[in-house]
Amino acid sequence: MLFLLSPAKSLDYDTPLPADLPHTLPQFVPDSKVLIEVLRQKSPQDVASLMSISDTLAGLNVARYAAWSPRFSAKNSRQAVMAFNGDVYEGLQAHSLSADDLAWAQDHVAILSGLYGVLRPLDWMQPYRLEMGTRLATGAGSNLYQFWGKRIAEHLNKQLRADTTPVVVNLASQEYFKSVDLKALKARVIECVFEDYKGGQYKIISFYAKRARGLMARYAIEHRLSTPHQLEGFNLDGYAWHAGSSTPERLVFRRRTAEN
């Protein structure tokens, strides 16, 4: 099975990392370079408008595009799973995973990215902001979905080629999962949904759901999950599989906390 995650807008390039932490190189660097060249033509005002961000953030990212290099090093990069710092990654807590856990994750977790296409957890990554839903025009079309086309799905197929019954577990947002061409993907897709009890009903609460996706990825890593049935055992932070609301392709996990 292959577990898909979204990236995060928030980045951490300051927390010290173990000196012996292994790394790999991103697999779509030539494509990233093409996108960077397009982004370098944008002014801070263009970037602010394109991404609906503040002038300060736009200026920061224009500087990032200018500094980006096709040569990755310990000075300009860090492992993707250690660099992302949003809600999903607070659930994943990659810094506390063992070396064996990270090695397993390297083969079974994929992070979708607007700039890098697909990142393995230990791929070196330079700081950036480019959400998959950005309408960035390139020679391939008017947005990043057209830019990446079938390549992400075909890449996932290669990663799954050793599996006799390939399965993709989608823990990414819809914005990012849309980058996977389902017609080209040769795998069964299972979606995990996390609901919290609030206001008399169970509902998806974005902050909690994002964190739960990271928790599920951690659960998969620590338990070396290899079959869809094993997903049903997920029980972190009070969540439990709810059979009555689930289907084979959509697993629902619910939680009812004391304050709710």
Given a cut of 70, whether residue 82 has pLDDT beyond it is: yes
Q: Write down the pLDDT at residue 19.
A: 87
Q: Write down the pLDDT at residue 258.
A: 60
Given a cut of 80, whether residue 106 has pLDDT beyond it is: yes
Can you tell me the mean pLDDT for 122-137?
97
The answer as to whether 128 is a domain residue is: yes
Given a cut of 80, whether residue 260 has pLDDT beyond it is: no
Q: Write down the pLDDT at residue 182.
A: 97
The answer as to whether 260 is a domain residue is: no
The pLDDT-based confidence of 257 (bands split at 50, 70, 90) is confident
Q: How many CB atoms lie within 10 A of CB 212?
A: 29
- Give the tens place of pLDDT for each residue, 44-72: 999 999 999 999 999 999 999 999 999 99
Indicate the pTM of the whole model.
0.96
The answer as to whether 234 is a domain residue is: yes
Share of the chain above pLDDT 90, in %: 97
Given a cut of 90, whether residue 143 has pLDDT beyond it is: yes
Q: Given its phi and psi angles, is residue 130 left (phi above 0), alpha (psi -120 to 50 degrees) or beta?
A: beta
- Number of structural domains in the chain: 1
Given a cut of 80, whether residue 259 has pLDDT beyond it is: no
d(CA 85, CA 71): 23
Sequential DSSP letters for 142-180? SSHHHHHTTHHHHHHHHHTTT-SS-EEEE-S-HHHHTTS
The answer as to whether 25 is a domain residue is: yes
Structural domain of residue 127, as residue ranges? 2-255
Given a cut of 60, whether residue 148 has pLDDT beyond it is: yes
The answer as to whether 247 is a domain residue is: yes
Q: How many CB atoms lie within 10 A of CB 9?
A: 13
The answer as to whether 95 is a domain residue is: yes
